[in-house]
Chains A and B, each alone.
Chain A
Amino acid sequence: MSKIGIPRTLAYFLYYPLWKTFLDELGEEVIVSPPTSREILDQGVKDAVNDACIPIKVYHGHAAWLRDKVDFIFSPRLVSVRLFGDFGTETFCPKFLGLPDMVRLTVDKLPPLIDTRVGIKKDPKEIFNIAADIGDVLGKSAADCKKACRKGLEVHKKYQKLLSSGVLPPDAIAQLFPNEPETNNKVRREEHQRQRLVRKPNREEAGLNIAVVGYPYAIYDDYINGGILGLLSKENVQVFTQDMLSDKVLNRQAKHLLKSTFWYFSNRAVYGGLHYMKQKRIDGIIHVTAFACGPDSVVDRLLEIEAHRHSSKPYLSITIDEHTGEAGIRTRVEAFIDMLNYRRDKI
């Protein structure tokens, strides 16, 4: 049994239940890095290349935190998860494509990375071969891997169901794995008691309904975005994110664009934004983006123009970087909420 570390950022928010179940079934011990903190961020800023965006820097920090605690770091190279896009070219941001190499060559004294290439756009069944490849590294038989992978996909489906019922990913993960080792769970539980995050979408007109779109690692990581979801729920706002929508609903928006973007997470954010713009009960849209994020330079302006053209919904774009403080975010969010309330009173 080896210890396998999973950095709590980037794709963690969408795929952790799948990974965790798969590795558990194989009999490995999974260690997740703690939620992003000042130390992790500082370490990441120190290790990573200075031009990288904050999520990538944070990833470096998480990898560095894990280095002397685990035998392997689980960092699969995400290339494609479905056949989609204008020429079937949907992939991930180039930084995701080069991520394992970036981490391996910049963070010192790392344990070996499990950087199996995940490219399943040609055939979704490929995932079993990928599982076998990972098992190969860990010395497991192909049959065991297939079984574990199947179990993982089951849990993944359950997870997606939870998400589409309006549960936010950190809560959904806590629901699926209530007995996680104390070291991992304690911090998170405290975090949760501090800010009770939103559960069910509320259809009543009492509070405001705001759609928060952006990359999962930007909107669910409470440290790097200044706890924006917590701030919103304290103001009695119902939060909607693109991850609460099924692929079917999201992909319906594709036809409204001249060309879909090349990146999986960006497509989800754009379509989520477009979907919520057309929803009557949504009062405003917040887009959380990282400083100097390449794909977001396209996504952000696209959403802004579309919000301006096809709806009367206010649109706020919040840029986060390593100097983002809670006060700054709070001021902007409060001003936005005041403005929405004012609009509502007027109408």
Chain B
Amino acid sequence: MKVSFPHMGYSYLAFKWMVEHTGHECIVPPEPSKRTLDLGVRHSPEFACIPFKMLMGTYLEVAEMGAEMIITSGSNGPCRAGLYWVMHQYLLEELGQPVKIVALEPPLCDMRDFIGKLRLIRKTGGISTKQLIWVLQVTWEKVKAIDEIERHSHEIRPYEIGKGDTTRAFWQALEMIDAANSINEVRLAYREALKVLDAVPQDNSRNPLKVGIIGEIYVVLEPSANHYMQIMLGEMGVQTDRSIYLSGYTKKTTIYDLEGDLYTVAQPYLNEAPIGGHGANSIAETVLYSRHGYDGVVQLAPFSCIPEIVAKSILPTVSRDHDIPVLTLFIDEQTGKAGVQTRLEAFVDLMERRREVKQKQSTIARRLVI
């Protein structure tokens, strides 16, 4: 069968490998473009959020390319993303596209459904259970490696001497992961890839601003949805860290798991969790970023995203209490790159000024002590 899947950041490399090794032909989803969005907007409900529209566009594009099955994820709410595969299936049927969407619901909710769908994928591809498990293991290893490389690239980008060097090295690194075909090969490629990134000429005398990026998972993960914000900020000389990675394999490096339960951190502000999506996480992560000495937080969310609207209305209080500036950007199909850039530049100016003022105050304080 010709199988495709949603495009979400750089993870498509891992999923491409997965589909190819389950005995299917892979239709690699193209990176969401203007055309993807236009197609999606034309056929989606008006108030669906941008992830829905982008996926709709992607599905229509892969359907054009001949895809027969799309593997995606479900969810148990209360964020509406869990219903999106249902809507996509309805809309594709309305448009006369013979595509079947196979949505993997969280296995803990309904094990039988999950296993049944995995079996469907396995049977149609004609591989054994053992092979499938191996394929899933390698895919997981790849997802972790890709996330880790991406995280590292955002760390070193503000130090790069030649603009764009990191991004070039990053793509080189991704190609190395892409070429790997077993767990050991992936691990080896990962080590090599880190070396490639570290070889980027860097100016270590800089002291870049540190910004945390929080918000809704799709617009945070998919660079073409957020106008390559992390790269944009990196090239402005800002170090970014984001709270969400697909693998969640971030124990050592990002704030996840450093402070125990996120929901406990959010509790003084939001006495109910989860509220769907990453609403409660956004609040907790702002608190944590502040505790870790970050200079600011950017909240990214699609227009009309319910959990993030709840978070947005609470964030001003968090921002005041924890003395950390928060920039909220709601993204929809009308958002332009220049608009995002202007706001980010202004935000960076604001953070620089705050840093200067703080330094001045601390030197004055030190002098007074002496």
Which A residues lie at the B interface, using CB under 8 A? 48-49, 51-52, 77, 79, 85-87, 89, 91-95, 97-98, 100-102, 105-106, 115, 117, 257-259, 261-263, 291-298, 300-302, 305
- Check A297–B304 contact: CB distance below 8 A: yes
B77 at the interface (CB under 8 A from A): yes
CB distance from A310 to the nearest CB of B (A): 13
| From A77, A258, A298, residue with most partner B Cβ within 10 Å | A298
Shortest Cβ distance from B278 into chain A, in angstroms?
11
The 6 closest A-B pairs by CB, nearest first: A262-B77, A98-B310, A49-B313, A294-B306, A297-B47, A87-B109
In the complex, the chain B residue whose C-beta lies closest to that of A296 is B47
- In the complex, whether B259 has a CB less than 8 A from a CB of chain A is no
Q: Are B80 and A298 interface neighbours, CB within 8 A?
A: yes
Shortest Cβ gap from A68 to chain B (Å): 22
> B306 to chain A: which residues have CB within 8 Å?
93-95, 294-295
A262 nearest in chain B by CB position: B77
For the complex, give the distance between the alpha carbons of A79 and B273 in Å.
Answer: 10
Asked, given contacts A101-B270, A105-B313, A115-B271, whether A94 binds B307 with beta carbons under 8 Å apart, the answer is: yes
B350 at the interface (CB under 8 A from A): no
Shortest distance from the beta carbon of B351 to any chain A beta carbon, whole Å: 23
Q: Does B87 lie at the interface of the complex (its beta carbon under 8 Å from any beta carbon of A)?
A: yes
Q: Is B276 an interface residue (CB 8 A)?
A: yes
| A77 pairs with B271, CB closer than 8 A | yes
CA distance A300 to B87 in the complex (A): 11
Residues of B in contact (CB 8 Å), total 45
A-B contacts, 10 listed (Cβ < 8 Å): A77-B271, A87-B105, A92-B78, A94-B276, A97-B272, A101-B272, A262-B78, A294-B304, A294-B305, A302-B87
Report whether A94 and B45 are in contact in the complex, using a CB–CB cutoff of 8 Å.
Answer: no
Residue B82 at the A interface, CB < 8 A? yes
| Chain B residues numbered 84-134 whose CB sits less than 8 Å from any CB in chain A | 86-87, 89-91, 94, 105, 109-110
CB pair B77 A51 closer than 8 Å: no
- Given known A79-B272, A87-B76, contact A297–B303 (CB-CB < 8 A): no
The answer, among A101, A117, A301, for a CB contact under 8 Å with B314, is: A101
Within 8 A of A (CB), among B253-270: 269-270
Would you give the 0/1 interface string for B48-85, flagging 1 where the beta carbon is closer than 8 Å to chain A?
A: 11001000000000000000000000101111101100
Interface string of B302-330 (1 = CB under 8 A from A): 01111101111110110000000000001
